[in-house]
Structure 1
């Protein structure tokens, strides 16, 4: 963690330097715009070329360090770890690279975006929403598109939102900084850059925006931009919650077309059996995880995030010791999933679902009805049991069975 903290401090320094360089570019451009002497204008142009090259280097350094931090946090690499020893699985965050491709969901996103329709990706925690967004964003970019990807957890306020959007646009189409902006400036910029290109704004953890300093007017503005035929803008958002249920968006009821109404929802569900096989195959020729397939499913169910946690531990032990210490695996898995299980337990279930799970733990059986069918579809029940052998003892401890209700 110390190494990650050091990298984050370094990243903050690089971002501050990037902003300083961008401010220099803005001043040079302003000076060049009002200068009439050709010789001095030429000097400004040469200076601008040098500073813009310096900014390009700064951008590449930021992107390199952001990816390194992501890999360190995920557990794919350890500091100074040789490439051939790296574990292909991750224990945190959205996956990148040659991971299991959700072909059906990706195809739906492409089709909707190509026809100018907005997309809302919804699914439970650890279901693969971030990974799906990463896969879409990593596809080959087309010249007539500008792609902006944001993390709703990192955006502080509206000013920060605009700053991040314009910075990412500026990397693809030079527009300069917009620190002192107003609505007319933003609108003029959007009309200009979307005249010949499609602007795709991807927001992960979109539900986090509604918990911050973003009022109803902000979402009304996003809706108006997204609905304006003269602005070629498409939104792709990912959320754990239905957009209609998000607090700020519920206040939208006084306008004729609420923000959530502009989206086409793609619901994400756990891995299918073929997708689990794709996940196991990532271990390559060096480690064969297929003999442990059922053990891995017993731990992680069909949830991508929990499965990769289990795969990471099995791969690590097999590559270093040639065998699996199952007690150690379960202990590590418990540590890594406890916060996730707590979130799921406290926020992931309706009252009816909680009651059904309580009866399952207490009596060992459930009645087949709409609630149980939905829990099977969402992956929390497999063959009449909880999806993970570790989720059962967690719930037993979290829900004191001596009490009548969970």
Structure 2
């Protein structure tokens, strides 16, 4: 008899592989529960969103996005005009039956707390480019995370200020992962890198899609978000100073984030202080839209001890291939790596990656 956690784990992997948003993932996982497969759209909508007048509309909107992303694996569903659910359900069932863990006869779930274990790695000092979006590779910043959640739980929003490539994006993603357990008032985390957004309307479209409501802004947006509680995480806030973005959007964000029980709690990341980032607000006789809303925290470089701890944690990583777990760095190498990186996490990662590769080359010659 099938263990139901296998089906649930399979669905979670599908959601990650197809890069479903948090709202799409919630809708997808709930809709395709074994108990819900024989229900109609309205029944599934009520299960996901509750029995409201807009539940079916929100459900169809989110499932439309889900189906679009699933076309990567199931291109045949793009030709369907009517009810896609039974077809997609059948396709998922077929894929599930060929899923490797099932066919290998495993009896324990491979997913814990909705996180998918990474493959065993040959070099533990990864990624050397981009942000760290896998919780198993995130390191440190424990004190910073504690302070940030203390601030959020006090009713304030947070601005993380730090130089480029210091780890702001990786920290934001880790905060998003921990929000469900560390926030006293439950809020749905929504992460957005503003590099993907080009103007006010683009931003509003993303926010509305994430929540599952029709496009709106101004009063209608405030009204439609009244019963939502969101943790809106904005990366690369500098983008809001570019052409295409107005002070109106920043003013609305302020309005939506004011108050202990406000619809939004904000976490924003930037390279410079918010007062310096938005001087136009002062030019027109206004305070910065984030003044009094966001408490700023400076994200510092790593000190020597943190750098040492990072190197040790990677060399002892359980994800490292067994045959490479005997590799260690000399004290001289560690000192040089720390001095060259100057406390910069990205530089230290890249330098350690190169050093580890030299050991791999020596092993290959043996």
TM-score (norm 1): 0.56
Deviations 1:60-115 (A, max 9, x none): 86999xxxxxxxxxxxxxxxx97342544222122232322112211110100011
Aligned-pair distance for 1:11? 7.4
Rg: which structure is higher?
1
User: What SS does the aligned partner of 1:264 have?
Assistant: strand
Conservation of the 8 A alpha-carbon contact between 1:153 and 1:208: yes
Alignment: residue pair count: 263
Distance in 2, Cα, partners of 1:314 & 1:62? 41
Structure 1 residue ranges without an equivalent (≥5): 1-9, 23-41, 65-80, 170-175, 324-406
Q: Pick from 42, 52, 55: which aligns with 1:45?
A: 42
Q: Pick from 260, 270, 276: which aligns with 2:290?
A: 260
Over 3 Å counting, the alpha-carbon distance change for 1:62 and 1:225 in structure 2 is farther
Aligned twin of 2:328: 288
Conservation of the 8 A alpha-carbon contact between 2:274 and 2:288: no
C-alpha RMSD over aligned residues: 3.8
Over 3 Å counting, the alpha-carbon distance change for 1:44 and 1:153 in structure 2 is closer
Distance in 2, Cα, partners of 1:141 & 1:62? 30
Distance in 2, Cα, partners of 1:237 & 1:267? 12
Conservation of the 8 A alpha-carbon contact between 1:204 and 1:239: yes
Distance in 1, Cα, partners of 2:174 & 2:141? 9
Q: Pick from 150, 165, 188: which aligns with 2:223?
A: 188
Structure 2 residue ranges without an equivalent (≥5): 1-16, 29-38, 47-55, 74-117, 317-324
Over 3 Å counting, the alpha-carbon distance change for 1:250 and 1:58 in structure 2 is same
Distance in 2, Cα, partners of 1:43 & 1:260? 45
Aligned twin of 2:197: 155
Aligned-pair distance for 1:238? 0.7
Conservation of the 8 A alpha-carbon contact between 1:152 and 1:208: yes
Which stretch of structure 1 is more off in the superposition, 139-148 or 230-239?
A: 139-148
Aligned twin of 1:239: 270
Over 3 Å counting, the alpha-carbon distance change for 1:192 and 1:269 in structure 2 is same
Aligned twin of 1:317: 358
Q: 1:91-130 alignment to 2 at 5 Å?
A: 91-96=128-133, 97-98=135-136, 99-130=138-169
* Higher normalized contact order (CA 8 Å, seq sep 6+, divided by chain length): 2
Aligned-pair distance for 1:216? 1.5
Aligned-pair distance for 1:303? 0.6
TM-score (norm 2): 0.61
Deviations 1:343-377 (A, max 9, x none): xxxxxxxxxxxxxxxxxxxxxxxxxxxxxxxxxxx
